[in-house]
Structure 1
Amino acid sequence: MTSLSLPGPRLSRRRALAVLATVPLTLGLAACGSDDAADAAASGGVADEVRLGYFANVTHAAALIGVQQDLFTAELGDTTLTTQVFNAGPDEVEALFAGGLDAAYIGPSPTINAYGQSDGDAIRIISGAASGGASLVVQPGITSPADLEGTTLASPQLGNTQDVALRTWLTDQGLENSVDGGGDVTITPTKNSDIVNLFRSGDLDGAWVPEPFASQLVLDAGGKVLVDERDLWPEGLFVTTHLIVRTEFLQQYPETVAALLRGNVAAVELAGSDPVAAKAAVNAGLEAAGGSPLDAPVLDRAWEQLSVTYDPVASALELSAEHAVTAGTAEEQVDLDGIYDLGPLNTVLTEQGLPTVTAGGLGKE
């Protein structure tokens, strides 16, 4: 088993943990601008443009379906939808804090960091998007946690949701690891798109990754699943992806946010009612994002590993915050009170005769 230092961009601990603490002040000042408030009032709560971020992952199926099927644009009307594809959540948070994004599909760990570092001011979770769909896939010779000592594992980015899950699980198994490198197991943050080739060449012993990369490791690279993350959560339910929005944007443009949510709900409903069309849209979205469409066996397996849902699975979020402390990607546990604003989503769901969702006591419903 190798312990090579692998290529690929890394996010330093200082950048991952400190950048979030610096930019929110800019956002807070911008939110107080009289020009912005005047523009919002004049628009009646409708923005000229909404800038949406997401990943080229099957766990972001709601975003891919919504974009490819024009479900967002159909609801947004005259509001222009501009999209940007990211590799992992910390980079998305940086774009949100810098004012380059208005809304984003993202995992819980970077969301929690963003909320904590901005003292609860910068973002709100407004909907769920996916549960499940993440695994630790390893080389065939690894059969137990003990076999991981001395290995090199990958995660998509330091401080992202899978990185936190990997570090937390390793710590629970008594395997030391560090955000600064070293320990019983070396964790090398690596772009999802690079992980399969590095695993196939033997330069990686395993990776904790979202779908479709876990299925690619299994079906295309001969890996085996050591941990299906669903097995670590009550009833197998945990948040992988949810939809967040800048608080300033939510306050200024409630009609645009409602339109975005209607598109999100339509995408989730399509995923449940017509999986063939939904998977075709996901594949088209992956290709449009600069990747290659997935082979049918990979896409089918990936699809079975997750649930596309507008339920944010709020019950799992506080445990995610605890995990960040255990993983060493957060200095202290974040107070999550107020992180959800599910009122607009529940209004949309009620209008459509669909079950409403709960914030679990952590915000508005």
Structure 2
Amino acid sequence: MKKLLLTTLLIIGTAAAQKADTVRIGIFPNVTHAAGLVAINQKLFQKELGSGVKLEVRQFANGSQINEAFAAGALDFAYVGPGPAMNGFMNGLPVQVISGAAKAGAVLVSRGDIKISGVKGLKGKKVAVPTRGSTQDISLRYILREAGLRATDQGGDVTIVPINPADMPAAFAAKQVDAALVQEPWGAVLEQQGAKLVLSERQIWKGGNYTTTVLVGNTRFIKDNPKVTEAILKGHLAGINFIKKSNVLAQKALSNEIYNFTKQRPDQTVLFKALARTRVGWDIPLDTLEEYAQLNKEAGFSRNLPDFDQFLNLDLLQKLVK
């Protein structure tokens, strides 16, 4: 009897897992998350999920918050930088990358009232990044090292200050920091408010051919809900195609979603510049991702390199894009 009851419970549990009625997805109000923002705004995820599954969108400001949400079991999918995704994975979080979302899309800018000429000009300065261990934090440490500089927590004299991207314009206005390495549209927003471009998205690393944002999923959810996972991936790819087909409509969708999250509406000029600096797409240059993992280790955010066979789960993506 007990064996029969256990078998029945397992069948019920499996059936329930295969019929998730809610999907929770995390995202930032950044142009580097454009594929997801557009898919949300245009209801492309919901179209693929159908009427039987509800999409819950949860806003986050940085990758550390995303990892905390996965650790708490509060997310099924999320758009996030490869840095936090790698570190979360290596710290035991049940997450896997299921698609790329954007490359480049981050710039180094300085306050307009001070003169910073090149990376060497950051010596003795305070530089904002979205969060400790973020893709931008690791990128900043790399370009500092290439210029013969180091962060203060590594014995140097460049102070790295974690600030949520949407709060950076206020931090610049209050002169709390001197510069920022930040994702779009916030780099373009800062420029509009008088900041000066120090390094473009192409000058940060690899000529801009490096992954800035990936789509990750909860490993167990992916396994238990293959149809829902496929629907999320299809909505993601539809968002990418929407952006590629119409820059104007994509700007409008992004403007509306960023405003919904932040109550700040980037104007058309800002969004045009931000999208031009961001390469929205599903592909991931694996060689640069592996090199990025090495940079992550050298920066001190991990002791090891991730097992990419476990960290990446791209089989379904590759079937969908054929």
Is the contact made by 1:171 and 1:326 (CA closer than 8 Å) also made in structure 2?
Answer: no
Task: Select the residue among 79, 82, 85 that pairs with 1:111.
Answer: 85
From the superposition, tell whether residues 76 and 272 of structure 1 become closer, same or farther in structure 2 (CA, over 3 Å).
same
| Whole-Å separation in 2 of the counterparts to 1:284 and 1:249 | 30
Task: Select the residue among 216, 220, 237 that pairs with 1:244.
Answer: 216
Is the contact made by 2:188 and 2:273 (CA closer than 8 Å) also made in structure 1?
Answer: yes
Aligned residues: 314
User: Which residue identity lines up with residue 116 of structure 1 in the other structure?
Assistant: M
Is the contact made by 1:153 and 1:205 (CA closer than 8 Å) also made in structure 2?
Answer: yes
Are residues 1:329 and 2:301 paired? yes
| Whole-Å separation in 2 of the counterparts to 1:137 and 1:36 | 57
Matches within 5 A, 1:217-296: 217-220=190-193, 222-296=194-268
Are residues 1:67 and 2:79 paired? no
| Whole-Å separation in 1 of the counterparts to 2:131 and 2:284 | 22
User: Which residue identity lines up with residue 79 of structure 1 in the other structure?
Assistant: V
Q: Runs of 5+ in structure 2 lacking a partner?
A: 1-5
Any idea what the Cα deviations from partners look like across 1:222-269, whole Å, max 9, x if unmatched?
A: 222222242344453111111000110110000000000110010000
Is the contact made by 2:166 and 2:262 (CA closer than 8 Å) also made in structure 1?
Answer: no
| Whole-Å separation in 2 of the counterparts to 1:296 and 1:137 | 20
Are residues 1:204 and 2:204 paired? no
Is the contact made by 1:178 and 1:328 (CA closer than 8 Å) also made in structure 2?
Answer: no
Is the contact made by 2:25 and 2:75 (CA closer than 8 Å) also made in structure 1?
Answer: yes
User: Which residue identity lines up with residue 99 of structure 1 in the other structure?
Assistant: G
Paired position in structure 2 for 1:131? 103
Paired position in structure 2 for 1:186? 159
Q: TM-score, normalised by structure 2?
A: 0.91
Q: SS of the counterpart of 1:319?
A: helix
Percent identity over paired residues: 34
| Whole-Å separation in 2 of the counterparts to 1:37 and 1:341 | 26
| Whole-Å separation in 1 of the counterparts to 2:294 and 2:152 | 17
User: Which residue identity lines up with residue 145 of structure 1 in the other structure?
Assistant: V
Q: SS of the counterpart of 2:282?
A: coil
RMSD: 2.1
User: Which residue identity lines up with residue 312 of structure 1 in the other structure?
Assistant: I
Is the contact made by 2:24 and 2:75 (CA closer than 8 Å) also made in structure 1?
Answer: yes
Give the superposition deviation at 1:291: 2.6
Paired position in structure 1 for 2:3? none
Is the contact made by 1:127 and 1:310 (CA closer than 8 Å) also made in structure 2?
Answer: yes
Paired position in structure 2 for 1:6? none
User: Which residue identity lines up with residue 214 of structure 1 in the other structure?
Assistant: G
Paired position in structure 2 for 1:93? 67
| Whole-Å separation in 1 of the counterparts to 2:285 and 2:123 | 33
User: Which residue identity lines up with residue 95 of structure 1 in the other structure?
Assistant: A
Matches within 5 A, 1:302-317: 302-317=274-289
From the superposition, tell whether residues 286 and 37 of structure 1 become closer, same or farther in structure 2 (CA, over 3 Å).
farther
| Whole-Å separation in 2 of the counterparts to 1:111 and 1:143 | 33
Paired position in structure 2 for 1:171? 145
Paired position in structure 2 for 1:358? none
Any idea what the Cα deviations from partners look like across 1:304-330, whole Å, max 9, x if unmatched?
A: 101110113323211111111222222
Paired position in structure 2 for 1:146? 120
From the superposition, tell whether residues 198 and 347 of structure 1 become closer, same or farther in structure 2 (CA, over 3 Å).
same
Task: Select the residue among 48, 62, 87 that pairs with 2:21.
Answer: 48
Task: Select the residue among 323, 345, 351 that pairs with 2:317.
Answer: 345
Task: Select the residue among 174, 186, 200 that pairs with 1:213.
Answer: 186
Q: SS of the counterpart of 1:244?
A: strand
Q: Runs of 5+ in structure 1 lacking a partner?
A: 1-32, 351-365
From the superposition, tell whether residues 235 and 134 of structure 1 become closer, same or farther in structure 2 (CA, over 3 Å).
closer
| Whole-Å separation in 1 of the counterparts to 2:260 and 2:235 | 19
Are residues 1:156 and 2:130 paired? yes
From the superposition, tell whether residues 286 and 269 of structure 1 become closer, same or farther in structure 2 (CA, over 3 Å).
same
Give the superposition deviation at 1:114: 1.5
From the superposition, tell whether residues 272 and 98 of structure 1 become closer, same or farther in structure 2 (CA, over 3 Å).
same
From the superposition, tell whether residues 37 and 101 of structure 1 become closer, same or farther in structure 2 (CA, over 3 Å).
farther
Paired position in structure 2 for 1:20? none
Is the contact made by 1:115 and 1:122 (CA closer than 8 Å) also made in structure 2?
Answer: yes
Any idea what the Cα deviations from partners look like across 1:277-333, whole Å, max 9, x if unmatched?
A: 111111111111133111111111111101110113323211111111222222333
More helix by share: 2
Is the contact made by 1:158 and 1:179 (CA closer than 8 Å) also made in structure 2?
Answer: no
From the superposition, tell whether residues 249 and 188 of structure 1 become closer, same or farther in structure 2 (CA, over 3 Å).
same
Q: SS of the counterpart of 2:284?
A: coil
Are residues 1:83 and 2:57 paired? yes
Q: TM-score, normalised by structure 1?
A: 0.81
User: Which residue identity lines up with residue 168 of structure 1 in the other structure?
Assistant: Y
Any idea what the Cα deviations from partners look like across 1:153-177, whole Å, max 9, x if unmatched?
A: 1101111111111122212222121
